[in-house]
Structure 1
């Protein structure tokens, strides 16, 4: 798919207010965010908010620098306006952080990942959905970059904008197919994700007493999801191999070597794990004290984490 859209970088209040006013007249717009230090609730910050929409027949993207001296709550009205659909891929991550950091309750929300899952699809990451339904490859090279650095590299802006565009186009495609992705932010959800235990929108795993056959995704026990168990296994078996951003960005795509074997055995060969869900699971492992971030920002399992993995890992 060949795309033609205009990117506007917003890092001051007057232009943000103009954007907020303009969004009040559109029927739908897609939203995506980039965060830093997402594994620590106390240190986490939203670095960018990307908004894709159609205006006058043109596709446009606004990239808002939330680390600049501006007030992102200026976006409250369009984000809470009930006449415009907010499109988010994995709203359990993005919508919750809007509520946590800015007390903005985005609604109504169409979650394109939720719609894909409800439609029975196994590969529901934004990358997989864009390639399958839009013939649109997403360049993920910038995923592991530092979103807190300024100035941003042009590749970072391009990547950030494209994800929002892909979500909007996927929404339009899903509407034509009759898929529904209604998502409602639960009261207190922002605080729940900052507390223990943490579970993402992925299916919960339960407990297990014996090994589970290959491809069936064994329950993790100790209130961990199967996705958390798989990530814990990678961190345990490959200590200091991954930084948190690197693991979250690569786990859904790089199904090779020991890390790929663990994902296939625990989640199943056809299972998909998108980046935002991986971030939620890794953050949960950190807050539960099963893994830690080293001074060089690498992931390592501690003694309790290694014990959980040894108890529940597939044979």
Structure 2
């Protein structure tokens, strides 16, 4: 409750400051017009542009009124069928979201990383920490499709790859999810992939299976088995919380669909690199031509478009 009150108070303070800045800018505009001051008019125009950006940001934040929207986000990316092609595409998406987190000034924390067989990644799970992180990223849930000339095929044929994205809210410390130890199977194993000799010599990786639901999570990022277990439990509790939310709130349905449903029936966006360059969001019919910027984290137009469409 304290976090919610603080978030609301911050929005009110931002609105009050923005209103005061708008009034001040209007006064400066009136004086500049009255005195025919070209320099002052240029200054007013610059300030107006900056205020427009602040208005857009505040308007977007006001759309995020869900109970989980202010929370940090736990994001998972999984390569689809297709081996190296799909695994390379999953890594491209991972970089895109990492860059978005960096652009936003959010905090990134790795939870689990499964490297691909030859290139790319099979799956990755990480946390985006910051105000309204889940509210923004929840619209990214679904299948992302890539069309390009394959860099792994000498014949230069066009190839289509798929990867799925899942997003869950990170639970606050005050939210308690009871998990009975007898409902868990905990396996430890040697971590694979990058990480140095330590990774291969000790059984520090942890896999937790929640027997009643069949949910499986794992973590091998840390050197400490205890730390890996803590991170895996955090993800498990977040997912169990989502399951309960599904039972109570049909509006959150898209966030709680099983991975099988999402992987095969929820294509949300296509990234076309050949024969033309375009990123198209199929939910809101939005096309963006600057593919390089999108893949470098410039996904805000899609996030904003989806949020506006749902209001």
Q: TM tier, shorter chain?
A: under 0.3
Q: TM-score, normalised by structure 2?
A: 0.26
Q: Which of the pair is proportionally richer in strand? A: 2
Q: TM-score, normalised by structure 1?
A: 0.26
Give 1 or 2 for the bigger CA radius of gyration: 2
